[in-house]
Structure 1
Amino acid sequence: MSKRLPSIIALSCFEAAARHSSVTQAAEELSLTQGAVSRQIRNLEDSLGCQLFRRVKQRLVLTDSGAQYARDIGPLLERLAAATREVQRDHARPLLVGAEPSFTTRWLLPRMESFASSYPDVEVEFANDLQQLYVTQEGFDVGILYGEGNWRDFESTLLMPCELVAVCTPALRERCGVVDDHRDLVRYPLLYHTPRASLSHLSSTWLWFNEVGMSDKQIAALSGQRFEHFQFVLDAALHGIGVAILPRYFVLQELTQGRLVEAASEPLLCGAYYVAVRHSRVGDSRVLAWIDWLMSVAEKSLPSHESQ
């Protein structure tokens, strides 16, 4: 059926000539010669088997068939142009990636040079507002989210488990001792991570003590200094104020440098990070490139690889 349809260029030439009542103006609009526009219109008339224009005193006048055809194809060509612009706009703008500020600064950015080298044509723009990521879930094509992987409107794939570690200065551990039971971390002065109320389930402190069986009421009653952001919790730990519970990726540098040590004999596996792709972006070539790269670097970042 598609072979019987007129070409887009022929339809465009006819539509422009009909709108301007002039081959000359149609040629200027389409950046074609007058002869090319005239030939396209003649070919279109031949394929349709009817005359679309007649010349009256050096002007083009639509026939009844031509006028009806112009009314019908005008909106169709505009819809086709709009659809084309939309696709071009989607691929012209950056890939919108949602990720927590801490994950972006401590895990993503140190590795981004390899993505830029592998995919130089893919520009990435980061969205880092926690409310945007976990509450409204708007403004990003693909997210790196903590949870169980069951977000509405997204297709999720496991990226890596989340390993929480309790860290403090060597001097503080010397004073308080190594904890074998995760619940016993309460004998340390505690640095409590307290994000906004709507995001309380993302508190690393709450996750740690909830995992070992403490109730919300018991966790809320724990004493200690409270900070909204991971960075402030980390800074307080570095100053020896208390013990911080943070994802391993966030304190790996300080642990490697010996500025912080683990206060518990074992870390705590708690939840996971997922790559969450908005349903409307599944199959997008840039999203696929991003996911392939993420999976590759995540596998290399696992402890078994880092120790090699």
Structure 2
Amino acid sequence: MNYSLPALRAFDAAAMQGSFRAAAATLSVTPTAISHHIRGLEDQLGVKLFERAGRDVVLTEDGRRLAESTAKAFGILDDAVQTLRRTSRKAVRLAAGPIFTARWLMPRLSDFWEAHSDIELEVVPSYQPGAIDQSGVDIVIRWERTASMPKDAIKLLELNPVAIASEEFMARFGAVESPKDLLGLPLLHQRDHWGWLDWFDAMGVRVPMPLRGPLFQDANALIRGATEGQGAIVGWLPLIDQDLREGRVVRLFDEQITPTHGYFVETGSGNRARRETENVMAWLQGAA
């Protein structure tokens, strides 16, 4: 038996929205058309798919089983179409955190355009890019501890940690004479406590108790907190070079610490073979 694809699409939209009217708006048709499709599908299947609940509709048990299948099926179709669209447009989707995008990638975009004017780069904001996910991302830029990355990871950029704060912070709490003094002052953290823990370890300071202080996923918010005197942070050279030059923050010490964190690049196994993805990967490594 052949089932109408528009009817299945109408059912899928109604199942997700919980409303024929909302499904109609999603598909740019009338609520009557949605109702007609659902009624025809129920007649074909010989089961009831929805129960009325005021102005909304609720899936029956049979409806729930069908909805699980249509969601998967249309998801597969949508992914395939997006992949073909990106391939035909020579588009490459890159996921990266906001500070990397704003402070490293953005100043180099004109260079990328000159080298690869035929590639459309789509930058996807991601605070924790992690592994390749199901959203069609071709390349992921990861910010991680160097010690946590596998040996075969592709390192893009090493980051040198330095303790920084604002002049306002220094005026409020007084000069910081030694690294140990920071244990008693407000500290702000990026994602987890490892930035400060690695910094204290490199400076020879034993941390006697768990570190406290708010965690921020967005490093731009963290830097703003530091510039406004809310706390001291571990800043990462070279990403904070401009902040230091313009005096928004100052280094608390003249420390020279071996890089503890960095940006690493990864691609999905299926994406690596695409020429456009390989070209972007090569450009990123060359620019770094």
Q: What's the TM-score once normalised by structure 1's chain length?
A: 0.54
Superimposed CA distance per residue, residues 72-93 of structure 1 (whole angstroms, 9 cap, x where no aligned partner): xxxxxxxxxxx9x976752426
Cα shift at 1:138: 3.8
What's the counterpart of residue 237 of structure 1? 226
Partner of 2:251: 262
Q: Which of 276, 285, 290 in structure 1 is aligned with 2:275?
A: 285
1:103 aligns with 2:92: no
Q: Which has the larger radius of gyration?
A: 1
2:275 maps to amino acid: S
**1:186 is the counterpart of 2:177:** no
Match 1:208 to one of 183, 199, 206: 199
Q: Are 1:112 and 2:109 counterparts?
A: yes
Structural mapping, 1:1-308, within 5 Å: 90-92=87-89, 94-131=91-128, 133-134=129-130, 137-139=133-135, 140-147=137-144, 148=146, 149-150=149-150, 156-170=153-167, 172-173=169-170, 176-177=174-175, 181=179, 183-187=180-184, 189-193=185-189, 195=191, 200=192, 204-209=195-200, 218-220=209-211, 222=212, 224=213, 227-268=216-257, 269-298=259-288
For 2:284, what is the secondary structure of its paired residue?
Answer: helix
Per-residue CA deviation, residues 6-51 of structure 1 (Å, 9 max, x unaligned), is: xxxxxxxxxxxxxxxxxxxxxxxxxxxxxxxxxxxxxxxxxxxxxx
2:161/2:237 contact within 8 Å kept: yes
**Cα offset for 1:169?**
2.2
- Closer, same or farther in 2 for the Cα pair 1:228/1:130, shift >3 Å? closer
What is the Cα-based RMSD across aligned positions, in Å?
3.4
Unaligned residue ranges in structure 1 (runs of 5+): 1-82, 299-308
Give the Cα separation in 2 of the matches to 1:277 and 1:226. 28
Q: Is the 8 A contact 1:97 1:143 kept in 2?
A: yes
In proportion to residue count, which structure has more helix?
1
Alpha-carbon separation, structure 1, partners of 2:272 and 2:131: 21
Give secondary structure in 1 for the equivalent of 2:210.
helix
Distance in 1 (CA, whole Å) between partners of 2:245 and 2:232 is 17
Q: Which runs of 5+ in 2 are unaligned?
A: 1-79
| Alpha-carbon shift at residue 180 of structure 1 (Å) | 5.5
Per-residue deviation at 1:214? 7.9
CA distance in 2, matches of 1:279, 1:290: 15
Residue 226 of structure 2 aligns to a residue in which SS? Answer: helix
Structure 1 residue 106: Cα displacement? 1.5
Partners of 1:118 and 1:191 lie apart in 2 by: 42
8 Å Cα contact 1:163/1:270 also seen in 2: yes
Give the count of matched residue pairs.
202
State whether residues 211 and 270 of structure 1, in contact with CA within 8 Å, keep that contact through their aligned partners in structure 2. no
Q: Distance in 2 between matches of 1:159 and 1:283?
A: 20
Question: Aligned partners of 2:167 and 2:106: how far apart in 1?
Answer: 28
Partner of 1:30: none
Distance 1:93 1:272 in 2: 29
Partners of 2:131 and 2:210 in 1: CA distance: 23
How many Å separate the matches in 1 of 2:250 and 2:277? Answer: 38
Question: By how many angstroms is 1:285 displaced?
Answer: 1.5
Paired residue secondary structure (2:222): helix
The amino acid that maps onto 2:285 is: M
Give, in whole Å, the separation in 2 of the partners of 1:127 and 1:229. 14
